[in-house]
Amino acid sequence: MPITIGKGVSHLVHLHKGGAQPTKASVGYIYAPGTSLRCNECAFITPGGKCTDYAGEEQNVSAENGSCNDWQDLRKGRIHGNGSRTQKQTAYIENKAGFGCRRCEHMDLAKSDCNAVDKDSPGDNPGRIDPYGCCTLWEKDPKRGKWPESKFQ
Ligand code: SF4
Ligand code: SF4
């Protein structure tokens, strides 16, 4: 995800109550079915589990629990980063169960919608927000944020 507004720091983004919601493009909405958007599913991870998006000690991310706003799908090929980013810039966070709209407090699973992003704006999943999407406004849902993948099947 190319946007540097942070997962977990959505207070930095004004959610327009009663007005226009942010577009999918402005919050880096992506559709990543079959993943939980973890570091071990990200193109920047080395086979040894280091993140090449960062330099030095920051490369020691949690492959199982970590993620950030620079996440890219490893299934499209590995990327050797140049270590130019910091964990603060990319809003690196950890969550044992993983990420994705299905674990975000903004998601309405029954309506395939979210209260933070305009589902009708251009981007992946036209007209809806998908449980297997994600964006930079992700916030851990108190219940679903802890659910393993099997509970969403
Ligand atoms: S910290 Fe971000 S860029 Fe690095 S491996 Fe994890 S998701 Fe990918
Ligand atoms: S449900 Fe959460 S992660 Fe998904 S688009 Fe909405 S704010 Fe972003």
pLDDT tens digits, residue range 38-87? Answer: 999 999 999 999 999 999 999 999 999 999 999 999 999 999 999 999 99
pLDDT at 5 over 70: no
pLDDT at 16 over 80: no
Atom 8, ligand 2: residue with shortest CA distance? 135
**What pLDDT, on the 0 to 100 scale, is given for residue 18?**
56
pLDDT tens digits, residue range 121-137? Answer: 999 999 999 999 999 99
How many secondary structure helices (H) and strands (E) does the chain include?
A: 1, 6
**What pLDDT, on the 0 to 100 scale, is given for residue 9?**
40
pLDDT at 3 over 70: no
114 C-alpha to ligand 2 centroid (Å) = 6
135 C-alpha to ligand 2 centroid (Å) = 5
Confidence of residue 20 (pLDDT cuts 50, 70, 90): confident
**What pLDDT, on the 0 to 100 scale, is given for residue 1?**
41
33 C-alpha to ligand 1 centroid (Å) = 17
112 CB contacts (<8 Å, ≥6 apart)? 119, 128, 129, 130, 131
Percent of the chain with pLDDT over 90: 86
Atom 6, ligand 2: residue with shortest CA distance? 114
103 C-alpha to ligand 1 centroid (Å) = 18
Confidence of residue 105 (pLDDT cuts 50, 70, 90): very high
Q: What's the rounded Cα separation, in Å, for the pair 102 and 16?
A: 22
Choose the residue to mutate in 135, 141, 144, 152 for probing ligand 2, maximizing ligand atoms within 8 Å of C-beta: 135
Helix (H) / strand (E) element for 108: namely strand 107-108
Is 121 exposed, middle or buried (CB count within 10 Å of its CB: 0-12, 13-18, 19+)?
middle
Q: Is 133 in the pocket of ligand 2 (CB under 6 A)?
A: yes
Q: What's the rounded Cα separation, in Å, for the pair 142 and 103?
A: 9
Whether this model's pTM surpasses 0.85? yes
Cβ contact 30:62 at 8 Å: no
- Ligand 2 atom index nearest CA of 107: 1
